Amino acid sequence: MSDIRVRFAPSPTGYLHVGGARTALFNWLFARKVGGTFILRIEDTDTERSSEAMVRGILEGMEWLGLHYDEGPFFQSNYADKHRAAAYQLLETGWAYRDFTPKQERDDTNIKDQIAKERVVNPFRDLPKIESDARAETGEPFVIRFKVPAEGKTQFDDIVFGLQQRDYSDIEDLVLLRSDGHPLYNLSVVVDDIEMRITHVVRGQDHINNTHKQVLLYQALGKPVPKFAHLPLILAPDKSKLSKRKHGEIVSVTTYRDAGFIPDAFVNFLALVGWAPEEGLAAKDQEIFSREELIRIFSLEGIHKSNAVFNFTEGDERNWTDQKALWMNFEYIKTWPLENLLPLIQPELQKAGLWRDEYFGERKAWYEHTITLLRERARTLLDFAKHGRPYFVAGLDFEFEDAAVKKNLQKDPALKTLLPVLAERFAAMADFTHDAVEAALRAVAEENGVKAGLLINATRTALTGQSVGPSLFELVPAIGKQRAAERLRHAAGLV
RNA sequence: GGCGCGUUGGUGUAACUGGUUAACACGCCGCCCUCUCAAGGCGGAGAGCACGGGUUCGAGUCCCGUACGCGCUACCA
């Protein structure tokens, strides 16, 4: 195992955002690739916005994606003492100062804007230490601010964005400790990353500005600066930042779990937004990658700089999320090894009350064959219970779609007599196979002077209640002789 | 406003250190197959690489400017 250590550090917002999921994924891939350590740390220093329930959403998302962490979850709030100590250390070493400006004054946005615009130097910045200590002694409230040097600039070489520089004059004296003694984000992050010996910080591009501040903190604390890789953002179709408030459930990965996505498919999709394998590492134009392949070919250098758009149509039920993600899921359902797929389908059938343990035993062959039939047309895992219901229930415990009944059963009154005829023919068959069923059905059609198609489509609806589905002669044997005959007789009543 | 970053078809991406008619996938359209719907096969439309200048024999690839977009600009994270 190498000594490379990375972390994913979400704030507990109650759900794992797709952008966050990709950040987690890239950290995970990188760690696995180099044999490093992947750490999960919950940034809950803002106690007002944190709760256990909020954390659970994150954990659930990680779990579903299969992004297992080697250490954690750590909770940043547990280390507040260390963060505070660091703030006081910086105060002692002269890298920070007490700011006694009353809070009300600071909360006034007009005053704040003015200070920012005119680059007003904080009056407490150079308050003599003795005086500062004395005022603190009397109980006068203060915040601890970092003292950004007057001249010079920060710089770091971002793995994705290249050399980044910032004049000190463009960085404000950030608050390290609130007046209630609460440590703030930039300080906490740096102290924790030092403590956890993080070597590579891989996070969203929206943190680039913070990074300059953090570099300063590392230096003031006399610690080595880790390497940084900032990721481009994932935007909504209107190019605005993807947010739950604005875009709803589509941003939460649990939505994809609940919508019947295969986690590997979603991971595969996510990996390809903002990143592509470097030439030669993967087959040209390859897009389907297993986790193992992704780990093998992943590199931070392959991440690109421009933001990506997550393409979906609001209000469109079929294209409720990115079409390529949808396609990817379908592709996995269709082509994944059956033994991978089966464990994901079982819970879906159980939820719908369709599961029978004999699918593991004497009905195994039938079950697996039926699943291979259904997977051809399933777009999500949910479809196995939805479209598959007629295959798994006894009798007539499934829905007849109105449109299907109208289109295929009520199309020709002759079906009223033909369906029972077909039922009897089926019931009398010894060999209920694809070819035998086809021969029987075509014979009935010919004897009665109707087109086979009429009977075929009517039979499909009779047996499944649906107008679409697998090839009929595959379908009928899967339903079986008994149920097929029974459903055909029943359907005659619907004509 | 300030600071930073970005810009290849509708979307995601490709195009070795500048070198043939800018490639692939999703989506879209059409044809074939066909018992339905998909899938699959074949074909097509769709960007001349944000725009304007340069450098060069030659630029999507280098330089400058403009526009647009995005991020950050808290005693939030």
Residuewise pLDDT in 10s, chain A (495 residues) = 689 999 999 998 888 999 999 999 999 999 999 999 999 999 988 766 667 888 999 999 999 999 999 998 999 999 999 999 999 999 999 999 999 988 877 777 777 777 766 777 888 999 999 999 999 999 999 999 999 998 888 999 999 998 888 889 889 999 999 999 999 999 999 999 999 999 999 999 999 999 999 999 999 999 999 999 999 999 998 888 888 888 888 999 999 999 999 999 999 999 999 999 987 788 878 899 999 999 999 999 999 899 999 988 877 888 899 999 999 999 999 999 999 999 999 999 999 999 999 999 999 999 999 999 999 999 999 999 999 999 999 989 999 999 999 999 998 899 999 999 999 999 999 899 999 999 999 999 999 999 999 999 999 999 999 999 999 999 999 999 999 999 999 999 888
Q: Which nucleotide is nearest to A204 (CA to C1')?
A: B71
CA–C1' gap, A43 and B5, in angstroms: 25
Residues A106 and A121: their CA atoms lie apart, in Å, by: 14
By annotation, the residues of A acting in catalysis are 244
Residues A151 and A385: their CA atoms lie apart, in Å, by: 66
A133 touches strand B (CB under 7 A): no
Q: What is the pLDDT of residue A316?
A: 81
Q: Residues 95-124 of A near strand B (Cβ < 7 Å)?
A: 101-103, 106-107, 112, 116-117
CA–C1' gap, A262 and B8, in angstroms: 31
ipTM of the complex: 0.94
CB distance A473 to A437 below 8 Å: yes
Q: Residues 334-363 of A near strand B (Cβ < 7 Å)?
A: 334
CA–C1' gap, A364 and B77, in angstroms: 51
CA–C1' gap, A219 and B28, in angstroms: 55
Q: Residues 264-293 of A near strand B (Cβ < 7 Å)?
A: 272-276, 278-279, 285, 287
Q: What is the pLDDT of residue A106?
A: 74
